[in-house]
Structure 1
């Protein structure tokens, strides 16, 4: 691994936010999925969550020309249904806010995104399901001043995520690493040596240590 690549990987991981994420409920258009993942990478989201119910099984595709390779840098966690996904995020102390027009919805800018936060985005045509709307901690909306009632799902996700980034930048969340050190080292190796990952995983071997320049230390 070249030194400049190692430095870029470390700089990116230094800014990753383990307690900010997006949950996609039945977002099925690949260009929307990819655009959301690309925005997540841009604001420092470490992992996104998704559940999809489609005719031919659990299929979640991406368009690389939209994601611009960002799907390699953002982990994608799949769930069998939205109830399971929400429960698991609640167990990790996330507050979950659905982008959902309802009587209890509040302006998205009033939320404190410096707390562990998950943003739930619903299906392109139907939005958030009734089940999910009941299970989340709150509903948020982006005020609309024109004729249309809502934004495209990937655009809405970007608007909300960049508000979360603004708050976290102001709070200094990007000033020092926030990932668990062991997880951090794991990601440095996986991002820096993707061609070797399968070798170690197939043999259930620990990843080798790296020196201060990102080179593998022979043992």
Structure 2
């Protein structure tokens, strides 16, 4: 095992233990990361989630990642780990959450959508999309972030930050 990989695994293990002491943020929304690559995006989402008061971040089928880019936020925002989307869906629905799938082709533009207090935002892998078939989950609403350039795609950590900000804008700071 390379020294860098070993260091990342040790750091991840230590930070995951510290995460057990994390407290929910001031807002009731959660972020769901579905099968993302364990690179820089995951810790960057934690950093934004901490800054914008997320209740927690759910990780589906995501292995160890380097928590260093989170700048300590991984120990402050509760992480919930799931083997598959069904388990995450069941847990969040049982808690009364409305789930929103972020999709560039989504029919509901983010700024025109009233976000419920208990909102969960699902972000998929940038290349492969989601690990599940959204058609199997009635009530899962598709949101789109309006874009005006030719690329029509945002980095997942940037998209997550925009959605979290919009939630806070609609529900006010606490």
Work out whether the TM-score is over 0.5.
yes
Runs of 4+ in 1 over 3 A off after TM superposition: none
Classify the secondary structure of the residue corresponding to 1:149.
coil
Q: Output the CA distance in 2 between the equivalents of 1:43 and 1:30.
A: 21
Larger Rg: 1
Say how many residue pairs are matched.
151
For residues 133-189 of structure 1, give each alpha carbon's deviation from its aligned partner in whole angstroms, at most 9, with x where no partner exists.
Answer: 5425200111111110210000000011101111111xxx61xxxxxxxxxxxxxxx
Matches within 5 A, 1:59-74: 59-64=63-68, 66-74=69-77
Provide the residue aligned with 2:95 in structure 1.
92
Provide the residue aligned with 1:16 in structure 2.
26
Matches within 5 A, 1:1-219: 16-17=26-27, 19-52=28-61, 59-64=63-68, 66-102=69-105, 105-132=107-134, 134-135=136-137, 137-169=140-172, 174=174
| TM-score of the two chains, using structure 2 as the length reference | 0.79
Classify the secondary structure of the residue corresponding to 1:30.
coil
Q: Which runs of 5+ in 2 are unaligned?
A: 1-22
For residues 101-141 of structure 1, give each alpha carbon's deviation from its aligned partner in whole angstroms, at most 9, with x where no partner exists.
Answer: 34x52101122234200000001212234524542520011
